[in-house]
């Protein structure tokens, strides 16, 4: 259990051993590691990492842990951009920001397929975290931050995503009967002028079911004269009608403050892609910092839900 300091600027408390994965931990030559998503199966944590090669595009690597804090990275990437088949022309510039969801006993990964045509959302599945079967490209270009809900709602699969319309990045909800064909898209929430998430928002972590609604950990971007600041926030969505917001935090639950969050290939970034709720009631939130390393921060899960319900994190 991670000790929680009595006073802090952020609701999520950083692990004192942050960053938990850096370039030095990757056994093959690369540029950076960041934005990893985590599934806990049995007594193992499987961490699918975004690793950017020195040539500039990203692949996925796998790290494994017994405690969710100390990870060992496998020798080779477990998923690389497709070089043949229907995905190839849409992954020429890499695969990015994986998000794992366990649904009906299968581990699905929604990720960003990146090419000169822009970003598309792609869906793959895995049983063992080492082998990935691509299912479909599930959006046209201009969309990313796709995340599957962990169960069907009213008989349909549901996802969050972030299409860019009129240069505004808002979060949307879409539905599917077969995971391949998606539609019935509804606007969920937009950036809020004047607040920490005023420029752009996107889903970050697979929604977590609570009796109060789906807890979604998302990212919000504020644009400044020195560039964007990426922060982590929370929102509760209606269980049956997930395009309805029940409550949204006025304040982020974690902002870049530490050097490892401030300084890197892209400074001032805390970008969550995964979380694990432990039996103890603790939530571990995994996030990429400054597009250069991987970190974890924790809090009491019920407290995070209560804070979100109150609409405030302070
Ligand atoms: C977003 C994504 C993330 C990245 C973030 C900050 O648009 O590309 O992968 O961490 O920007 O650069």
- State residue 73's pLDDT score: 98
> What's the predicted TM-score (pTM) here?
0.96
Q: How confident is the model at residue 6 (pLDDT cuts 50, 70, 90)?
A: very low
- State residue 8's pLDDT score: 61
Residue whose token pair is 């080779």: 76
CA 196/CA 193 separation, integer angstroms = 8
Mean pLDDT of 137-164: 98
Q: Which of 260, 252, 251 is nearest to 288 (CA)?
A: 260
Q: How confident is the model at residue 127 (pLDDT cuts 50, 70, 90)?
A: very high
Pocket of ligand 1 (CB under 6 A): 35, 96-97, 230, 266, 269, 271, 288, 291
In three-state secondary structure terms, 275 is strand
- The separation between CA 112 and the C-alpha centre of its own chain, rounded to angstroms, equals 11
Residue whose token pair is 């990429």: 288
CA 106/CA 108 separation, integer angstroms = 6
Residue 5 in any domain: the answer is: no
Residue 9 in any domain: the answer is: no
* Per-residue tokens: 31: 């540029």
Mean pLDDT of 102-119: 97
Best mutation site among 60, 95, 97 for ligand 1 pocket (most ligand atoms within 8 Å of CB): 97
Residue-wise pLDDT for 36-88, tens only, equals: 999 999 999 999 999 999 999 999 999 999 999 999 999 999 999 999 999 99
Quick one: which atom of ligand 1 is closest to the CA of 34?
Answer: 10
Q: How confident is the model at residue 314 (pLDDT cuts 50, 70, 90)?
A: very low
Ligand 1, atom 12, lies closest to the CA of 266
Residue-wise pLDDT for 196-248, tens only, equals: 999 999 999 999 999 999 999 999 999 999 999 999 999 999 999 999 999 99
Q: Which of 123, 129, 111, 203 is nearest to 157 (CA)?
A: 123
Mean pLDDT of 144-160: 98
Ligand 1 centroid distance, CA of 288 (Å): 9
Residue 3 in any domain: the answer is: no
Q: What percent of the chain has pLDDT over 90?
A: 95
* Per-residue tokens: 8: 């802090």
Mean pLDDT of 252-276: 98
Ligand 1 centroid distance, CA of 167 (Å): 16
pLDDT reading at 35 higher than 60: yes
CATH number at residue 128: 2.115.10.20
Best mutation site among 271, 272, 286, 290 for ligand 1 pocket (most ligand atoms within 8 Å of CB): 271
Pairing mode, if any, of strands 13-14 and 293-300? Answer: antiparallel
Domain of 100, in residue numbers: 19-309
- State residue 7's pLDDT score: 46
pLDDT reading at 306 higher than 90: yes
- State residue 313's pLDDT score: 59
Residue 7 in any domain: the answer is: no
Ligand 1 centroid distance, CA of 199 (Å): 13
Residue 63 in any domain: the answer is: yes
Residue-averaged pLDDT of the chain: 96
- State residue 311's pLDDT score: 86
Residue 314 in any domain: the answer is: no
104: left (phi over 0), alpha (psi -120 to 50) or beta: left
Residue 14 in any domain: the answer is: no
Ligand 1 centroid distance, CA of 220 (Å): 11
Best mutation site among 57, 273, 291 for ligand 1 pocket (most ligand atoms within 8 Å of CB): 291
- Count of structural domains within the chain: 1
Residue 4 in any domain: the answer is: no
Q: Which residues of 178-192 are buried (b: 16+ CB within 10 A; e: fewer)?
A: ebeebeeeeebbebe
């Amino acid at each position: 259990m991670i000790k929680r300091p009595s006073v802090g600027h952020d609701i999520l408390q950083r692990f004192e051993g942050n960053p938990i994965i850096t370039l030095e931990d990757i056994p093959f030559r690369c540029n950076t590691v960041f934005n990893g998503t985590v599934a806990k199966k049995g007594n193992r944590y499987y961490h699918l990492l975004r690793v950017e090669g020195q040539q500039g595009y990203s692949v996925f690597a796998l790290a494994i842990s017994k405690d969710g804090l100390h990870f060992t990275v496998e020798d080779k990437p477990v998923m690389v951009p497709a070089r043949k088949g229907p995905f190839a022309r849409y992954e020429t510039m890499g695969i990015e920001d994986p998000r794992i969801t366990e649904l009906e006993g299968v581990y699905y990964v929604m990720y960003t397929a990146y090419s000169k045509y822009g970003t598309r959302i792609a869906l793959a599945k895995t049983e063992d975290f080492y082998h990935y079967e691509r299912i479909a490209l599930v959006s046209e270009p201009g969309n990313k931050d796709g995340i599957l809900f962990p169960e069907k709602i009213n008989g349909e699969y549901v996802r969050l995503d972030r299409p860019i319309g009129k240069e505004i990045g808002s979060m949307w909800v879409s539905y599917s009967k077969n995971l391949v064909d998606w539609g019935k898209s509804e606007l969920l929430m937009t950036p809020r002028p004047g607040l920490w998430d005023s420029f752009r928002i996107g889903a970050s972590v697979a929604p977590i079911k609570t009796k109060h609604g789906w807890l979604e950990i998302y990212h919000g971007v504020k644009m400044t004269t020195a560039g964007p600041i990426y922060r982590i926030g929370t929102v509760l969505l209606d269980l049956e009608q997930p395009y309805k917001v029940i409550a949204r935090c006025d304040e982020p639950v974690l902002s870049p403050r530490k050097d490892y969050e401030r300084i890197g290939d892209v400074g001032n970034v805390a970008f969550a892609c995964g979380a694990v709720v432990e039996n103890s009631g603790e939530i571990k939130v995994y996030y990429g910092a400054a597009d250069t390393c991987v970190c974890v921060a924790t809090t009491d899960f019920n407290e995070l839900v209560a804070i979100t319900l109150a609409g405030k994190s302070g």
